[in-house]
Amino acid sequence: MTDLTRLTAVEVTDLLRIGAVSPLECLDALEKRIAAVNAPVNALVTLCFGRAREHAERLMELPAHDRGRLAGLPVPIKDLCDVAGVRSTQGSLIFKDNIATDSDLVVKHLEAEGGIVYAMSNTPEFGAGAHTFNEVFGITRNPRDTRLSASGSSGGAAVALATGMAWVAHGSDLGGSLRNPASFCGVTGMRPSPGRVAASVFSKIDGTLGVEGPMARNVADLALLFDAMVGTEQGDPLSLPREDVSYLAAARSGWKPKRVAVSRDLGISPVDPEIAGIVLAAARKLEAEGVIVEEAHPDLADAMNCFQTLRAIGYATGMRQMLLDHRDKLKPEVIWNIEKGLKLTGEEIARAEAQRGNLFRRMQAFLETYDLLLCPSTIVPPFPVEQRYPAHCNGVEFSSYIDWLLIVGTITLCACPAISIPCGFTASNMPVGLQVVAPNRGEAKLLAGAAFIENVLGLGAGTPIDPRVTHSA
């Protein structure tokens, strides 16, 4: 049989459903691939194959039609979520020896749908920042050039996908953490609308900035995982009921947008000229398919202040006590974000909440004219791993570690689902991601449109690559 790791997730799941392969065979294939390629990229930092095989054996006792939507497909979990019985660290020295006693909601939901957890993927400390490194496990490296960043914070997940150590992967996204690493690594990552994927509540009960979501090597595989992630859970008061729709069917529907908007910078952010040119060229290819493509974007001028303020509130709410108890174990960017939140005035918070409401309304009105909005997923190509974050872009200096994330953070503020798909390569052969945005709760349209664009661009094959090791060990 062909090496299972080279098949798509949809193909493997089809084989699982008819009994042509077993979940145990899938785990064997992954364990072999991880042993071969993980060391130079450091994507999967904790393995739990013993637990996974026990779960697989229990699942195999059930009839095939009772094994859930994933039917025994293995899934790695980002190391910000707890998995019962597994080392779950959040990339922090505070939790470096933590063995979770219970699983987070998203993990329980995936396992109930036949997903088998076999590994934890690397993340920055507490998911802070879009470069995957921490003091517990070290740096995750870009498999196309290991001197460069894989981005983040779902960097380990993206690298595992690109190198064939996963068919699909769980991630999360506040400031582009599913979209940024998808762009840097040449895979696909989607931020869903708030509430689509149920998540455990730890601090802010009505938080809508951070969400859980799917990653894969192509749009159809991502839709398969998303079908297994959605649905309401009692433990999440914002979780939405499952729609009467298959997202995989939506991705396969052949729907074509009539009119799309494309923007090189959303009017708010510097963008590397090469990145902007690749994104615009990709959008123009849709015109040959009869799609109207216009350069446009809504008024998003308040986004920087709004994003910085509301993000800081989240850090202050969720991590104030950690700052008091463990300041010496927190990285400086996390300390800065918590303290920024604690210093905010009521007037500043009120202004940011009002700005977010205005941004949401403007974006929804804009997307009544256009089926989709296209723009870059990241504003720079992959940067050297020694940098903590990009300090400047196209002549603009950044004042914080999150300034360079505004082009994705703004879409977060607008509560829109958004997906990053590969759209081309730089002159140095590094991937560039196209961010595709749909109206709030428009995931079916988003996945259908992304699949159409993926097909037009011809970049959806998603064949795993072997790491190109360019750094000194």
331-344 confidence digits (pLDDT tens): 999 999 999 999 99
pTM for this entry: 0.98
Sequence-distant (6+) residues with CB within 8 A of 20 are: none
Cβ(9)–Cβ(225) under 8 Å? yes
Check: CB of residue 316 under 8 Å from CB of residue 344.
yes
Note whether residue 472 is domain-resident: no
Question: What is the distance between the alpha carbons of residues 65 and 60, in angstroms, rounded to a whole number?
Answer: 11
Question: Containing domain of residue 307, as a range?
Answer: 4-457
CB 251 within 8 A of CB 448: yes
User: At residue 436, does pLDDT exceed 70?
Assistant: yes
The backbone torsions φ and ψ at residue 260, rounded to the nearest 5 degrees and listed phi first, read -125, 150
DSSP H helical ranges for 192-302? 219-229, 247-251, 273-284
Task: Please report, for residues 131, 418, 452, 470, the alpha-carbon distance to residue 401 in angstroms, rounded to integers and kept in the order given.
Answer: 10, 22, 34, 26
pLDDT at 91: 98
In a domain, 464, yes or no: no
In a domain, 469, yes or no: no
Amino acid in position 403: D
| Category of 347 on φ-ψ map: left (φ > 0), alpha (ψ -120 to 50) or beta | alpha
Q: What is the DSSP letter of 140?
A: -
Residue 122 contacts residue 132 (beta carbons within 8 Å):
yes
* Residue 462 is assigned to a structural domain of this protein: no
**466, part of any domain:** no
Per-residue three-class SS string for 49-72: HHHHHHHHHHHHCCCHHHCCCCCC
Question: Quick one: DSSP state of residue 203?
Answer: S
pLDDT tens per residue across span 201-220:
998 899 999 999 999 999 99
CATH number at residue 247: 3.90.1300.10
Which of 121, 153, 183, 420 is flagged as catalytic?
153
153 noted as active-site residue: yes
Known catalytic membership, residue 177: yes
Residue 471, domain member (yes or no): no
pLDDT at 64: 86
Q: Count up the domains in the chain and report the number.
A: 1
pLDDT tens-place string over residues 31-84: 999 999 999 999 999 999 999 999 999 999 999 889 999 999 999 999 999 999
> Of 92, 154, 177, 239, which residue is the catalytic one?
177
pLDDT at residue 2 above 80? no
Helix (H, G, I), strand (E, B) or coil at 46: strand
Strand partners, 169: 215
Task: Report if residue 102 sits inside a domain.
Answer: yes
Q: Evaluate whether residue 467 is within a structural domain.
A: no
How far is it, in rounded angstroms, from Cα 222 to Cα 74?
14
